């Protein structure tokens, strides 16, 4: 797929004010690891989570309560949560696709969950064994029951900026999926560029489509993959549109097992470098984080793809 096939912008690069503070939603322990072929021992996952909290990250997406056959790497979700050393002031959201997953998460004592919807038909089938419309029959009862149990629920929307099977994804289709999640009770939407094809222009276009449809920009987060080297440019575009929650993965780990060409997430270190340069508060100790990613890279047996990790620890 060429970038021009994803659509050309009506306008480019409008300047907005930057936020003073950003929440980094660290997805390394979940999104970062879910695609690893070799099973990472529970002890390593626990130390990873502990080190990330020690580095100042306050939102750590810990694992997923999905079907273990679909994501074998996260089949140890119960054990990870049972043995997790919880740090004060840190939240540990988990992914739940369905009622079975929510039941498991509730039994494990979670306080924050996330459902993950697809903006396209094909990915809903491949990732959820469902469909664009049918997926809501799975999510809506989950969101309702989670809210009744007092949990906070985030809604991911995957393939917001392009899909490997369907190509361009109309922004209104993305907005329709996102609004249904908000209407069902999600407190925040994370707009996923699952295969990393977004550009600053398409980020603006999708965020604008949400705000034009009456969604507050404060309810939006962004989730970029760095496949085409655009994740930081896309983040800056989102910040200028008023987004203040950014997903990233320590050391740039990551990828989705059900999305062809989904490579590493935006690296948290690269994000922190950008935010520091812009004078935006985030609360993360970069040295401690780089040390953590170098340690994790050793556990996985290959170097971190993060430019900042390589520059500082190289």
Ligand X SMILES: CC(=O)SCCNC(=O)CCNC(=O)[C@H](O)C(C)(C)COP(=O)(O)OP(=O)(O)OC[C@H]1O[C@@H](n2cnc3c(N)ncnc32)[C@H](O)[C@@H]1OP(=O)(O)O
> Which residues are part of the catalytic machinery?
256
Q: Which of 26, 31, 61, 163 binds ligand X (CB under 6 A)?
A: 31
Nearer to ligand X, 222 or 294 (CB): 222
* Exposure string over 130-153, b if 16+ CB within 10 A, otherwise e: bebeebbebbbebbebbbeeebbb
Which range in 38-46, 53-61, 100-108, 228-236 contacts ligand X by CB under 6 A?
Answer: 100-108
The residue count for binding ligand X (CB under 6 A) is: 22
Provide long-range contacts, Cβ within 8 A and 24+ apart, for 73-79: 73/33, 73/34, 73/35, 73/36, 73/39, 73/40, 74/30, 74/33, 74/34, 76/42, 76/45, 77/104, 77/108, 78/104, 78/107, 78/108, 79/42
Tokens matching residue 274: 């950008």
Distance CA 237, CA 289 (A): 25
Query: Which one of 65, 92, 136, 161 is in contact with ligand X (CB under 6 A)?
Result: 65
User: Could you give the string, one character per residue 237-276, with x where binding to ligand X holds by CB under 6 A and - elsewhere?
Assistant: -------------------x-x------------------
The C-alpha atoms of residue 69 and residue 1 are separated, in whole angstroms, by 30
101 lies in the binding site for ligand X (CB under 6 A): yes
Nearest approach, Cβ of residue 159 and ligand X (Å): 8
Distance in Å from the first CA to the final CA of the chain:
34
Residue 129 touching ligand X (CB under 6 A): yes
Decide whether 100 or 281 has the Cβ nearer to ligand X: 100
Q: Which residue in the block uniquely carries the two structure tokens 């690891």?
A: 33
Interface map 145-184 toward ligand X (x if CB under 6 A): -------------x--------------------------
Q: Is 116 in the site for ligand X (CB under 6 A)?
A: yes
Q: How far apart are CA 261 and CA 249, in angstroms?
A: 17
**∠ CA 116-147-68 to the nearest 5 degrees?**
40
Among the residue ranges 64-72, 180-188, 280-288, 303-311, the one whose residues contact ligand X (CB under 6 A): 64-72
Give contact residues for ligand X (rule: CB under 6 A).
31, 34, 64-67, 70-71, 97-98, 100-101, 104, 116, 127-129, 158, 192, 194, 256, 258
């Amino acid at each position: 797929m060429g970038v021009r096939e994803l659509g050309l912008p009506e306008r480019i690069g409008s300047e907005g004010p930057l936020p003073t503070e950003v929440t980094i939603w660290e997805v390394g322990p979940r999104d970062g690891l879910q695609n690893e072929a070799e099973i990472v021992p529970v002890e390593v996952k626990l130390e990873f989570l502990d080190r990330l909290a020690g580095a100042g990250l306050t939102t750590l997406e810990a694992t997923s309560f999905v079907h273990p056959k679909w994501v074998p790497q996260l089949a140890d979700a119960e054990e990870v949560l049972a043995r997790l050393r919880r740090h004060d002031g840190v939240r540990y959201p988990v992914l739940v696709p369905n009622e079975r997953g929510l039941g498991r998460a509730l039994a494990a004592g979670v306080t924050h969950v996330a459902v993950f919807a697809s903006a396209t038909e094909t990915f809903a089938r491949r990732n959820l064994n469902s469909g664009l419309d049918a997926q809501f029959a799975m999510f809506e009862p989950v969101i309702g029951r989670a809210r009744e149990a007092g949990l906070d629920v985030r809604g991911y929307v995957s393939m917001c900026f392009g899909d490997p099977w369907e190509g361009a994804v109309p922004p209104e289709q993305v907005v329709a999926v996102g609004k249904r999640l908000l209407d069902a009770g999600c407190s925040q939407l994370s707009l996923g560029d699952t295969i990393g094809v977004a550009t600053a222009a398409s980020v603006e276009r999708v965020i604008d489509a949400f705000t034009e449809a009456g969604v507050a920009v404060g309810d939006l987060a962004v989730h970029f993959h760095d496949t085409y080297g655009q994740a930081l440019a896309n983040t800056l575009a989102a910040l200028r549109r008023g987004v203040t929650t950014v997903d990233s993965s320590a050391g740039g780990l990551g990828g989705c097992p059900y999305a062809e060409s989904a490579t590493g997430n935006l690296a948290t270190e690269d994000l922190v470098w950008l935010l520091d340069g812009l004078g935006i508060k985030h609360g993360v100790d970069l040295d401690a984080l780089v040390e953590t990613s170098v340690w994790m890279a050793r556990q996985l047996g290959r170097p971190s793809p993060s430019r900042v990790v390589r520059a500082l620890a190289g």
